[in-house]
Amino acid sequence: MINLYIDFDGVIMNTIEVGYDMFDKLGIEKNEDNVGKFYSELNWKDFINKKCSQINDSIDCIKKIIDSGLFNVSILSHVVSLDEAVAKIEYIRKYFKDITFIPVPKKISKTKMVHTKNSILIDDYAGNLREWTGEGGIGIRFSEKMNGKGFIPINRLDQIIEIAKNNFIERV
Ligand SMILES: [Mg+2]
């Protein structure tokens, strides 16, 4: 089995898109200070359960990925607050009885939280993927427009099954 880490924001759920829409509606400028303040004060439970939605059947896709038996699946998500971590964990746990969810403090690289070597990370942020491959991992870019930015792109999570079979998993 190959370790597979899946990002949450912009991969499982459209939290980024919805957050930016809220910024526009509130007329808040999208700079680092404002964004940090907004997300640390946000009611995450409400935000995730009432405002956001899954991207391209992400939860069903993760079920397929688990059922393929090819991967050890974990969710690896940056968080700015414990409230955010709790809301995301509760959301994921509604659908999966037994899964690993690793909240990563925003200031820490995802590469510092888990074994990266020969592990796959699916993330929409190319910066995370560059760090990941820099530490010996395999980076796959989630992009609805299939823009890989130097990485293999996918726009549905279950596409990873065929990609891994063809590229990363040794055939018996
Ligand atoms: Mg993301």
Q: In which band, very low, low, confident or very high, does the pLDDT at 13 lie, cut at 50, 70 and 90?
A: very high
Q: What is the pLDDT of residue 65?
A: 98
Question: What distance in angstroms lies between residue 16's CA and the mean position of ligand 1's atoms?
Answer: 8
Residue 132 burial by Cβ neighbours in a 10 Å radius (0-12, 13-18, 19+): buried
Q: What is the pLDDT of residue 172?
A: 43
Question: What distance in angstroms lies between residue 93's CA and the mean position of ligand 1's atoms?
Answer: 19
Give the tokens for residue 142: 């989630």
CA separation for the pair 57, 75 (Å, rounded)? 16
- Which is more confident, 30 or 91? 91
Instruction: With beta carbons less than 8 A apart as the criterion, state whether 146 and 136 touch.
Output: no
Q: What is the mean pLDDT of residues 95-113?
A: 96
Question: What distance in angstroms lies between residue 148's CA and the mean position of ligand 1's atoms?
Answer: 14
Decide if pLDDT at 72 tops 60: yes
Residue 50 burial by Cβ neighbours in a 10 Å radius (0-12, 13-18, 19+): exposed
Q: What is the pLDDT of residue 154?
A: 98
Question: What distance in angstroms lies between residue 168's CA and the mean position of ligand 1's atoms?
Answer: 23
- Three-state DSSP at 142 gives strand
Beta strands at 71-79 and 138-142: parallel, antiparallel or unpaired: unpaired
Question: What distance in angstroms lies between residue 124's CA and the mean position of ligand 1's atoms?
Answer: 5
The per-residue pLDDT of the chain, averaged, comes to: 95
User: To the nearest whole percent, how much of the chain has pLDDT over 70?
Assistant: 99
Instruction: With beta carbons less than 8 A apart as the criterion, state whether 2 and 39 touch.
Output: no
Of 47, 51, 50, 58, the closest CA to residue 11 belongs to 58
Question: What distance in angstroms lies between residue 172's CA and the mean position of ligand 1's atoms?
Answer: 34
Q: What is the mean pLDDT of residues 21-43?
A: 89
Question: What distance in angstroms lies between residue 1's CA and the mean position of ligand 1's atoms?
Answer: 24
Question: What distance in angstroms lies between residue 108's CA and the mean position of ligand 1's atoms?
Answer: 14
Instruction: With beta carbons less than 8 A apart as the criterion, state whether 103 and 87 touch.
Output: no
Question: What distance in angstroms lies between residue 171's CA and the mean position of ligand 1's atoms?
Answer: 31
- Which is more confident, 83 or 35? 83
Decide if pLDDT at 109 tops 60: yes
Residues of CATH 3.40.50.1000 domain(s) within the chain?
Answer: 2-13+53-167
Question: What distance in angstroms lies between residue 110's CA and the mean position of ligand 1's atoms?
Answer: 11
User: What is the DSSP secondary structure assignment for residue 123, as one 8-state letter?
Assistant: E
Select 2-13+53-167's CATH number: 3.30.870.10, 3.20.20.70, 3.40.50.1000, 3.40.50.10860: 3.40.50.1000
Q: In which band, very low, low, confident or very high, does the pLDDT at 171 lie, cut at 50, 70 and 90?
A: low
Least confident window among 27-31, 40-44, 50-54, 83-87:
27-31
Question: What distance in angstroms lies between residue 105's CA and the mean position of ligand 1's atoms?
Answer: 13
Q: Which helix (H) or strand (E) holds 155?
A: none
Q: What is the pTM of this model?
A: 0.95
Q: What is the mean pLDDT of residues 104-131?
A: 97
